[in-house]
Every structure is written in structure tokens, then in C-alpha cells.
Structure 1
Amino acid sequence: MSAPLEDYALIGDTYTAGLVSRSGSMDWLCLPRFDSGACFARLLGGERHGHWSLAPYGDGWSVTRRYLTDSLVLETTFRQAGDEVRVLDCMPVRNDRPDVTRRVEGVRGRVPMRSCFVPRFDYGSIVPWFRPDNRRLHAVAGPDHLTLDSEFPLEPTDDGRAVTHFQVGPGDAVEFHLGWNSREYGSPPRPGGDIVSATRRWWQEWASHCRYQGRYREAVVRSLITLKALTYAPTGGIIAAPTTSLPEQLGGVRNWDYRHCWIRDATFTLLALLDSGYESEARAWREWLLRAVAGEPEQMQILYGIDGTRRLPELELDWLPGYENSRPVRIGNDAARQHQWDVYGELMDALHQARHAGIPPAEDAWRVQRKLMDFLEGHWREPDSGIWEMRGPRRHFTHSKAMAWAAADRAVKAVEDFGLHGPVDRWKRLRAQIFDDICDKGYDPGRNTFTQHYGSTTVDAALLTLPGIGFLPAQDERMRGTVRAVEEELLSGGFVQRYAMTDRTPHVDGLPQGEGAFLPCTFWLADCYIQQGDTARGRALFERLLGLRNDVGLLSEEYDIRAERLVGNFPQALSHIALINTATGLDGHRSGQGSRQDGASAGRSMR
């Protein structure tokens, strides 16, 4: 069985990433890319589905972990009586091929160590052939070829394992290197030099550019490093998470593949990068957005592959039992075929924020925006699947309409603030028309709250973002009423759920109910408190969220209040992005927030 999510730490090379448990087992790794088949899939099954453990032999070892300062080099220290040893895990930022480096360093006593290498290609379904080559072991099946280099001879067993025993004393250091190769590359050269130190220096140099200097700098820098680790370097695309099918509820069926890039995260991501001083990453993200959405506006998707791939067929891997028996295990994501009007607003807002921040304009950006506006003008009245990708009937979601309003607002600002050419008067009328439509049909005056969708009696946590996009100020009585409704209906155990799930609604969006509290939504509630002037309340909620991070500072997608455990895909980019943005807002360092909220002046009083 896999470990609790809290027990995992991330390592990566900006092409792919792996998860290492507190016990020293690498239980998840996809090579050579984030979206490739996993060669270690114990996370979603058992030992037979692939892992690589490296730890002291025997029981009774106490464990402490940390990342070496401002880096993605993981240090795990094992102690027992007078013995102590540490394991350093990292993936050097890639030049041409992926490499996992694991270094064992003796500290005290003479410690017996055991390495158990169990590769299984295609998400644990294929047992490779082993070919020993003195201190190198080849594992081959089809297009996949792993090479494990060791300072000791590696002898495979009949059951598809390679087990190595050795000892380390004070000052001893033993390294293992795992590489992936295609047939075109052949066998890689044996690694040389101090890879661990070089990797540490690379990350520390990158982290040194963070300009956030507030009281939460450690948490912000760790979140930025995580965000960088989830970036696919060749394209600038940022995945939602490096995992698939980690359940939203333990034992449940809401298990999705998050190794893709979502347009809904566009502006949140851009603001986090810009406010923290990472303009080159923000520019790369902007360029990925423009390439991904190229084509006709009606073909725009809510998510894409890391290289802009549009076809992401959803498949079930029936040989995997799932994380803590949460089935099915899925790869691909059928949500790519859904229609969500909010992504048009997200894209328009992201390009507006990039322009506002002084990122040199892309030649095609305004042309793309003009085409999106032409399409949105004729379609914004249609229902959609909403930000939460509901797999039921389409509805007129209030948040989706508000993002259509944001698209019109950013189009107006592009003309008025940057002198771009466009039918500004027509867009102003559209902006006012959408605003009035939302306030007429998506607002319940009796309860003084906006609703999840037109005609609904429930609320939705996505409504907490309305002040952030500038639809209405957070101090507006309608927003105060909406915040109160969210607190009453969606706040459970101090954390916010995305939408109501009760015993009276056994099925939501076509699937059985049940999920944890969606962590970004709770950050959004903290943002509303801060924007309403209640900084103390916002700070208290923010610091409570910080307390959910595991010992190395990572957050998942959701939190199971009853089990008091992290759930959902891990680590989750949007949770860390929300952390960065809330910390920045608390310390008043948000460079883009004012421009994002300027749109509130376009709203009108209720008649």
C-alpha cells in the first residue's frame, strides 16, 4: 500500500517529476515527460507496480526530512541509537536526458543499507528485461530503456527486482544514478561530477530572484519552486499536478488525471509569477497560452497537454487498484471536450495582465483577443459546464457569466489603456449587458447572495473570485452577502468546499457525492476577508492553511476534514499559486491586483 500523501516529497527536472516517501521509496515517476507512462506506480497500487526503495536495513529508524535551503534537493535523515545516515535525492535540471540521483552519506556508526529497484513500465503493467553490465543494469521493454548505475555490482532476481546491500560509515558517500533512454540515444555516459551540489546551486540561484520579502517568504519560495518544478521547460506550460487519479475522497471515484495544463489557472498563475519577480516564466506561460489556443475560437479547450496537445482521451487502467483502493485509475481527461465560457475570460485577463506588467507584446496576442471577443459576443448567453467541469447538464453558471464580463472588460481596457484598435463602444455595451444579466438572474435579493447558476438556490465557492476579477468590490453589500452565504453553506471544519454536497444530493454532476475541502477556495475566502479590510481574519485563515502543508511544505488539491489528511492530486499547482497570491495580498506587494480590480468601476448599482 502507498503511504499517506503527507509522507511524499517532490523532486523534478522541469520535464517530469517523482514522489519519494518518508521511508525512502520512490513510488511515482513518469519518464521522460510528466505525461509519459509511469515506471514506478506503487502510488496507485502496490510494490509489484514499481518502486525504488533506498533506506537503512531493518526497522526502528526515526526519520526527518527537509529540502536543502531554497532548492529541490531532498535530504532524508535516518537515526537509530548511535547510527545516522542521510539520503539525498534530486533530479538535475535536464540537458538532454532525465536522470535521478540518489546519494547515501554516512554520518555516525556503520549503517547497513538496502536498495530495491523494481521498475515496471506503462503504469506498472510491463515487467522489463534486465541486462547486467557490471555496475550498470539495463531494464528494457519496447521503447523504454532505463539504466541504473551503482558503485556496486547489480544482480537482478527472477521476480524482476535488483536488490543491493552495502554499508556506509562516517564520511562515506555512495551514489546511484537512474537514466532513461530512447533507442535513438542508446546507453548514456556514466554521470560525472558533483550532481547534487550542482542541482542545489541551480535551484538556489533561481530562488534568489524572488522579490517577495514578507513574513511568509519561506512558504512563498517553496511554492514558487514547486510551481517551477511543475513547468514543462520546452513549452512553458504548467501542469496542474504531476500525478493522476489521487482521489478527492478516499475510496471514491472522483479520480482524474491532472498532468495537463488548465486555462482556468491562467491569470492566477501569471499574477503569482509576475508579483514574485519571474517575468521570464510569466512570458513563457503567456506564449504557451497563445500557442495552445491557436485556431478558431469555438475550438478553444479548457485544458491542453503540456505541449499544447488537444486530444487527451480518457482511459481506465484496470490493472491498478488505485490509491487506497480508490478506483478507477484514469489517464487522459475527457473534460478537454467540455465547453466553459470562463476560459475565454481567463485568457483575456491573462493577456491583459501580461500587457499591464510590461511584457513585450506578442505579435498575435491582440488578433487572438479580437477573435475571441467576436465569438464570445454571440455565445455568452449559452449554458456551459462551469469551472468545476460538471459532467451533467449544462447550466448558466454565474461564475462563467462573470468571466465573460471580465473578457469584455479587458477588451475595453486594451483600447482605453493601451491604444489598441477595437470597437470599444460595442464592448462597453456588452460589458454592461452581461453585468445586468448576472445581477438580474444570478443574484438572489431575498438572501442577498449571488448563486451558483441562474435559478439556483445554492452558492458556489467560485463566486469568491468576483472581487478579484473586478466585477464588484469586496465591500459591496452583495459580495458581503455572498461571503456570508459561502460561510453558512460551504464552510466545514473551517475549510471551504467547492459546492454543496449533502445527503440530499447523493449524486453531483453524474457521479456519487464526496470530496474534501478544495484548498484554493479557502485561500479565496481569505482573499475576500483581506479585500474587505478584515486583515486579521484573513491572516488567521491563511495561517491555518499553511498548517496543512506537510513537513516539506507541500499541499495537495483538497483536505479531508474528517480523516485530517491531504487528498487529491499532489502537489497541486493551484493550491500553491493561491498561497503565493494570498501571501502577496496580505503584505500589500501585489503589483497586478489593482489593475485586476479596476473593472469594479464598470459595475452599476442594483435598480
Structure 2
Amino acid sequence: MGCGRIAEHGFLADGRSAVLVDRAGSVNWWCPARFDSPSVFTRLLDDDAGHWVIRPDGEFSSDRAYLTDTLVLRTVFTTATGSVAVTDALALEPGARGHEVGLHSPRVLARVVRGLSGEVPLRLHYRPRFEYGRMVPHLVRQDDALVATAASARLDLRAAIPLRCEVGEAFGSFTVRAGETRHFTLAYAPAYDAGPPAVLDAEQVIDNAVAGWRSWMGLHDYRGLYREQVRLSALVVQGMTYRPSGAVVAAPTMSLPEELGGERNYDYRYAWVRDFSFTLAALWRVACTDEVNLRVGWLARSMGMNEGIVPIMYGVEGERDLTEHHLEHLSGFAGSRPVLVGNDAWRQRQNDVHGEALNAAWLMREHLDPMPPDVRQLLRAMTERAARDWHLPDAGMWEARDAERHYVSSKVECWTALDRAVRFGSHLGSEADVARWAAARDEVRRTVLTRGWSDRAMAFTAAFDTDELDASVLLMPLVGFLPADDPRMRSTIRTIEERLSHDGLLRRWEGDPAGFVICSFWLVSCLALAGERDRAGQLFERLAGRVNDLGLFAEQIDPYSGEALGNFPQAFSHIGLINGAGDLTDVDAGRHHLPPAPEWLIPAAEQSGRAAKVE
């Protein structure tokens, strides 16, 4: 049957891992130990690599939605003889509420089937395949559970129906009438030293997950434009947070293709420093500031004191070696190979990370006062690296795997690091340090304005001394490097929109196969800040309508077919929606995008030198 389209999937989370289940009732992805652990269901990448289906036996239609303010999914199946609802949730710790949600996961997937009308024959097919589909587990009946074991993993399936077992899989057929329910739970535990998997009641799992997610949502209010879309996106980003450390994964999946049948199929189950900055900005928008110390603390511990190239990404507990390898036994989504585990981008130099980290800290400065010593040490070290390394070529924020170049957005982010360090002033360094950082900042700016601009393209370009375009330069007004209504920036925005945009979706560069969602939201923000508020709002609404039926964004969208592409759901895309809505709200309220630094944060030497900055 296959797993259909990427956008057909719903997303469940528990603070450690995620499940993807399609609208036909098939669980096609679950890495139960944590986001980047080996999967037990891998149908997303190969039809034979494991799934768990509960669906009507015969023709049906389906309609689905999240229960309000939760990541609990309810799918209604309608057949010629009746209708049933299947409610799916990953268990949260019983009684966990607010900021405790997700800290301790029981690692249980619950499914409850409830008859709504008439009667509906259904079937169950359970086919676990451990280690990314490599291993067929042993199935053994033990008390009231069907236990699957292989290598270091164990799954206990408890089903309210009789099951027929074959080698490595189980089948069941049952009928549900109006008012009847059937309960199913699937619990994971490591095979050694952890005890057996948790035994939980499916109805209680659902009820507790509903209460837990709603309690978290109740702590995070947002009163700006597009409130419902923003709140859902905030919930999705929280669902992609590994709660024990505070790391946010780029996506819960791996190797979903940027182009069907193509080779750019990367593992996104890790945390990027770049995403960290935009995530904190998004949380700031939705009044979710209580977790700042957790997230900043994760960054400080993960980055430590590096003598070599600063890693741009980490495992969810701060691991650095994310060496990439191929899974040759998997056919890939829609035949898109290679299927990759790990991501060799961890080896790259990306000079943009300095600015992203400093900007995140600046946004959250009120919550870092007093500044923890490890955070201060980290920010100082990154500032010094920006001052020292800004002139070096790098792989750029799109992680080019060919030669390093002098990417303009990387230089701009080095400027951002130095600018925010100057704003922090004595909180980060001595007066001499700040003066030195200010001088380096202004040198970066002069160089970007000279070598990053192309008279032929009439735009700031991808890299120094080229005419190639890149949507990442739209960050320039968003970080305060240049006002959006500066003539050079207006020309850049216009040129990028004309040459890289189609049907409201903006590609990263010419030749990029699909629109990149967050870049499209950057365009929204730039238009709004440049005074084109009405057009920015229209573009936002077109983009916000590109989600799937559950409100979920992929990384990219084909501008011609509308097909969702890349890993799914994508934190970057949802963060783009939040920040885009926030920028529109700020513009309507007359708030400046980047307020000036308070005078007390700036040394006298910098205050008197403001007029001398190169324009």
C-alpha cells in the first residue's frame, strides 16, 4: 500500500520522540528511545520496513483533526456501514502539567477505537522492524501482551482483540458498533537494565495527554495576528523539543527528499545552532520565556570551549560526532536514495552560528540577568571568533558540500554577533573589548556593503564578487544590518522576489527545486518592514494556507504541484510562521523591529562614535 505523500501524515510527540501516522491509520515512523535513535517503524522510507495499521476493512473515507490545543490526533473513518473514530497519542508522564510536560516519557503509544454510528469491520496489521527495518523481531505471548524483542529493544503490544501471529508480524480482525470501544497500547523499553515497558490504560493515556498539552498551552499566550496558527506552530515546535535537555530538533524524520527521486535526503533529527536563534525568537513572540535558561544552558553545555571549528549542530544531548552513513537496505521515500543516517554538516565551518547565538541571547537578555558564567564565557568566545574569523570562507547556512565561499549571510551574521556583543557592553567585556568589537563590526559592514552588492544584479548576492542570488540575504533587515526601506535593500527584495519566487514560494537560490518555507516568511517580514504591509499580509495568508489538513508544514513545497517535500514536520517552517506573524503585528503596532540598545549597556566610546559608522 505504501505510505502515500509526506503531507498525509500527522505528528505525535512526547518530549523525547515522535510518531508519524497517516490518514489511513498506519503508523509509519517511530524512534521510541529518542528522536535520533533507531526506528521500530520505518515504512516512511521503505514499504517493508515496519508499520502498525488500524483501519476499516474495505473502502472508507477519513477526516481528522487534533483535539483542541493538543497533539492528540482523532481520525474519523466513514464506510458504507458506519463510522468510527481512532484517537492516537504518545503518553506523557501521568499528572505532568505545564513546564513538566515531556520531561519524563513513559514511551507508550495509545490508540483508542470508538464506534460512532452503525458498525464497521476493521483490521489490524502489526509489523515491527527494529534498527531502521533491518531486524525482524521475535514475537512471544507473555501474560496479556505480545512481546517483540530484537537486539537492544523491546515492544509490548496490548490489544483488546485476538491476534493471529506469524513470523515477525501479527494480524487481527474485529467489528466496532456505535458506542463500543477497543483499546490498544504499544510500550517500548530498552532490552537491558531498564525493566519491562510501562503498562498504562489507553483511555487514561489519551486523557492525560489532552490535559498535559492543554496545560502547557495555557502558559503561553499570544495576542498578535493569526493567533490560532501561531499557537499551533508553537505547540508543534514544543513537540519537537527533547525536553530533558531543551534541544529542538530540526525535524523528527530523516531522509525525506527535497526533490522526489533526488539525492538531497538528509537526517534532520538533530539540533542546529541556527535554528536555536530563530526558535528563541519564536518563543519570545508567544510569551514562552520560562524555558529560556533550559535552552540557553543546553547551548552552553553543548558548545563548550572549542579550539577548532565551532560545530553548527549537535545531538539532542549535545553529542558532536554525527557521522553520516547510508542505509543500503532501504529503498527511500518514493525511491529517493541514498537513505542517510547522521549528517556530515557537523564537520562544516558555518560562520553564521556566531550571530545566531548572540542574537538569541540579546532577545532574551532580561531572562539572562544576572548572566550565568558559562553563558557569558560562551558568548564572549563566539564574539571573539566572529571578530577573528569573519573574513574566512565557509559552507554557508545552506550547508554547501562543495567549495567554501564568502557567503554574504555568513558575514552579516558575524556583524550581528559583534553588534549584539557591543550592545551587551560591560555585561560581556571590558571597555577595550567593546571598542575592539565595535571596530570589527564596522569593518564587516563596510566590506559587505562593498563586496556583497552587485550592480549587475541590483541586489546583495549569495557571496562576495558574484551575481548569484540567495534568499538568505533577506536576513539583513531582520537582524538590523540595513533597514528594509534602504534603496539597496528594496532593490534586493524586489530582485529576489522576481527571480526566485513562484506562486508565493521562494526558492533559496536559482536551481533550488522547491520553495523553502522559512525563506518565504522572511520575504513577508521584509515586505512589511519596507512599508508594503498589505502585500506582506496577503503573502503571509497564502503561505499559511500551504499547511496540510492538520496545520503542519514540511521544509519545502513544490510551487507547481503543491507537494510537501523534505523532512516533516519542519521546525524552521513553523518558526518562520510565528516570526512572520509577529513582525506583521509589530508593524501594525508601530513597534521598531530591533529597538536600540539601552544607553546604560553601551560604553561612552561607542555612544560618541555612533555617528561615525559607515553607511
Separation of aligned partners in 2, 1:214 and 1:441: 39
Report how many aligned residue pairs link the two structures: 590
1:392 has 2:402 as partner: yes
Deviation at 1:592, TM superposition (A): 14
> Which residue is equivalent to 1:506?
none
- Check whether the contact 1:135–1:152 (CA below 8 A) recurs between aligned residues: no
Deviates more, 1:243-252 or 1:165-174: 165-174
> Which residue is equivalent to 1:109?
118
Please tell me the residue identity of whatever aligns with 2:37. Answer: S
1:550 has 2:548 as partner: yes
Deviation at 1:135, TM superposition (A): 3.1
Among 161, 171, 179, the residue aligned to 2:169: 161
Separation of aligned partners in 1, 2:497 and 2:257: 25
1:315 has 2:316 as partner: no
Separation of aligned partners in 1, 2:314 and 2:345: 10
> CA deviation digits over 1:434-456, x for unaligned, max 9?
10011111112454321110111
- Check whether the contact 1:373–1:407 (CA below 8 A) recurs between aligned residues: yes
> Which residue is equivalent to 1:505?
none
CA 40–483 in structure 1, closer or farther in 2 if over 3 Å, else same: same
- Check whether the contact 1:86–1:104 (CA below 8 A) recurs between aligned residues: yes
Please tell me the residue identity of whatever aligns with 2:3. Answer: S
Separation of aligned partners in 2, 1:492 and 1:65: 30
1:80 has 2:90 as partner: no
- Check whether the contact 1:411–1:427 (CA below 8 A) recurs between aligned residues: yes
> CA deviation digits over 1:96-155, x for unaligned, max 9?
530000000011112112111100001111100110125310000010111111123433
> Which residue is equivalent to 2:274?
264
User: Per the alignment, in what secondary structure is the counterpart of residue 290 of structure 2?
Assistant: helix
Separation of aligned partners in 1, 2:62 and 2:610: 56
Separation of aligned partners in 2, 1:593 and 1:375: 32
CA 275–72 in structure 1, closer or farther in 2 if over 3 Å, else same: same
Separation of aligned partners in 1, 2:613 and 2:555: 37
1:248 has 2:258 as partner: yes
Deviates more, 1:404-413 or 1:443-452: 443-452
Unaligned runs of 5+ in 2: 94-103, 598-608
CA 181–52 in structure 1, closer or farther in 2 if over 3 Å, else same: same
Deviation at 1:3, TM superposition (A): 1.1
User: Per the alignment, in what secondary structure is the counterpart of residue 165 of structure 2?
Assistant: coil
- Check whether the contact 1:449–1:485 (CA below 8 A) recurs between aligned residues: yes
- Map 1:49-64 onto structure 2 (within 5 A): 49-59=49-59, 61-64=60-63
Deviation at 1:174, TM superposition (A): 1.1
- Check whether the contact 2:248–2:276 (CA below 8 A) recurs between aligned residues: no
CA 242–329 in structure 1, closer or farther in 2 if over 3 Å, else same: same
| TM-score between both structures, scaled by the size of structure 1 | 0.93
- Check whether the contact 1:212–1:276 (CA below 8 A) recurs between aligned residues: yes
- Check whether the contact 2:42–2:49 (CA below 8 A) recurs between aligned residues: yes
Deviation at 1:190, TM superposition (A): 2.5
Deviates more, 1:201-210 or 1:445-454: 445-454
> Which residue is equivalent to 2:109?
100
Please tell me the residue identity of whatever aligns with 1:249. Answer: E
1:127 has 2:136 as partner: yes
CA 134–602 in structure 1, closer or farther in 2 if over 3 Å, else same: farther
> CA deviation digits over 1:364-386, x for unaligned, max 9?
11222222222332221111110
CA 556–360 in structure 1, closer or farther in 2 if over 3 Å, else same: farther
Deviation at 1:43, TM superposition (A): 0.5
> CA deviation digits over 1:138-187, x for unaligned, max 9?
000010111111123433113x2111112211221111111111221232
> Which residue is equivalent to 2:186?
178
- Map 1:155-234 onto structure 2 (within 5 A): 155-158=164-167, 160-182=168-190, 183-192=192-201, 194-234=204-244
Separation of aligned partners in 2, 1:166 and 1:180: 25
Percent identity reads 37
Separation of aligned partners in 2, 1:134 and 1:172: 25
Separation of aligned partners in 2, 1:376 and 1:550: 40
Deviates more, 1:278-287 or 1:357-366: 357-366
User: Per the alignment, in what secondary structure is the counterpart of residue 475 of structure 2?
Assistant: helix
> CA deviation digits over 1:523-573, x for unaligned, max 9?
000000111121111111111011110000000000012322100000000
- Map 1:272-421 onto structure 2 (within 5 A): 272-356=282-366, 361-415=371-425, 421=430
| TM-score between both structures, scaled by the size of structure 2 | 0.92
> CA deviation digits over 1:456-485, x for unaligned, max 9?
111210000111111011111111011011
1:496 has 2:506 as partner: yes
> Which residue is equivalent to 2:513?
515
User: Per the alignment, in what secondary structure is the counterpart of residue 521 of structure 1?
Assistant: helix
> Which residue is equivalent to 1:455?
465
> Which residue is equivalent to 1:67?
66
> Which residue is equivalent to 1:9?
10
> Which residue is equivalent to 1:504?
none
Deviation at 1:343, TM superposition (A): 0.4
1:565 has 2:533 as partner: no
CA 102–360 in structure 1, closer or farther in 2 if over 3 Å, else same: farther
User: Per the alignment, in what secondary structure is the counterpart of residue 364 of structure 1?
Assistant: helix
Please tell me the residue identity of whatever aligns with 1:441. Answer: R
Separation of aligned partners in 1, 2:36 and 2:345: 16
Separation of aligned partners in 2, 1:122 and 1:442: 47
CA 558–151 in structure 1, closer or farther in 2 if over 3 Å, else same: same
